[in-house]
Amino acid sequence: AQTVTQSQPEMSVQEAETVTLSCTYDTSESDYYLFWYKQPPSRQMILVIRQEAYKQQNATENRFSVNFQKAAKSFSLKISDSQLGDAAMYFCAYRSWNYGQNFVFGPGTRLSVLP
Amino acid sequence: GAVVSQHPSRVICKSGTSVKIECRSLDFQATTMFWYRQFPKKSLMLMATSNEGSKATYEQGVEKDKFLINHASLTLSTLTVTSAHPEDSSFYICSAPWSRSGGQETQYFGPGTRLLVL
């Protein structure tokens, strides 16, 4: 079974600064997806970024980028130019490659953005 | 984009009663839906996989007689918490996968249902 670990229960960053959230995972599969989801106080899950394991290039979405190290099974999220609206719970998630598979979520990191 | 809705958004019930939570895919068909449970300040834990036209698949430790799942159509899955007790109080979230023909799969989350059992 797959597991996802986030070793930072809480993080804080100054507005406009950069922060990196850590995630490691364990799997025996070679093809899979990795995700970062944001959950604001509304509790709606919002997709931040996704990475296909077969892609060597790290995914980027505007201010959000990942450092995907497949051999090390590491998948960190970097948020640049942090904004107050970035404050939320961030979940790292794993999903198998086959269609219609469930997510395996990490325990989450609560990010605070300081003005 | 595809949307998944949940109803109700929050419900308060007395201990011993049953509560039904609906998860609907509004503009796509979902043969599979997932039900997750989230305790306060905790992560999402998969409870069960809902399959249209067949029985749901439950995760280890989830009581199938306690959490009844019915996937009666391609756009609706329901989770019924039977004989609810205070320990069933939680946030319940559904998700559904979708992809355009030949395209990449995306999963859409419902907004969640907050259940409080008194």
Q: Dump pLDDT digits (tens) for A42-54.
A: 999 999 999 999 9
**pLDDT per residue over B45-94, tens digit each?**
999 999 998 999 999 999 999 999 999 899 999 999 999 999 999 999 99
Backbone angles phi, psi at B106, to 5 degrees: -130, 145
Answer whether B34 sits within 8 Å of A103, measured CB to CB: yes
> Which chain A residues are closer than 8 Å to B99 by Cβ?
99
Question: Under the phi-then-psi rule, with left for phi > 0, alpha for psi from -120 to 50, and beta for the rest, what region is A85?
Answer: alpha
Rounded to whole angstroms, the Cα distance separating B100 from A92 reads 25
Whole-angstrom distance, CA of residue A16 vs CA of residue A84: 9
Decide if B99 touches A, using CB distance below 8 A.
yes
Q: Do A99 and B111 touch (CB under 8 A)?
A: no
**Residue from the list B49, B99, B112 with its beta carbon closest to the beta carbon of A43:** B112
Decide if A103 and B31 are in contact by the 8 Å CB cutoff: no
CB count, 10 Å around CB of A44?
Answer: 14
d(C-alpha B60, C-alpha B41), whole Å? 22
Which three-class secondary structure state does DSSP give residue A59? Answer: coil
* Interval A74-106: pLDDT, tens: 999 999 999 999 999 999 999 998 878 899 999
* In the predicted structure, residue B1 carries a pLDDT above the cut 80: no
Cα torsion B85, B17, B54, B112 to 10°: value is: -70
Whether B97 and chain A come into contact, CB under 8 Å, resolves to: yes
Q: Determine the distance from the C-alpha atom of residue A40 to the mean position of all C-alpha atoms in its chain, rounded to a whole number.
A: 14
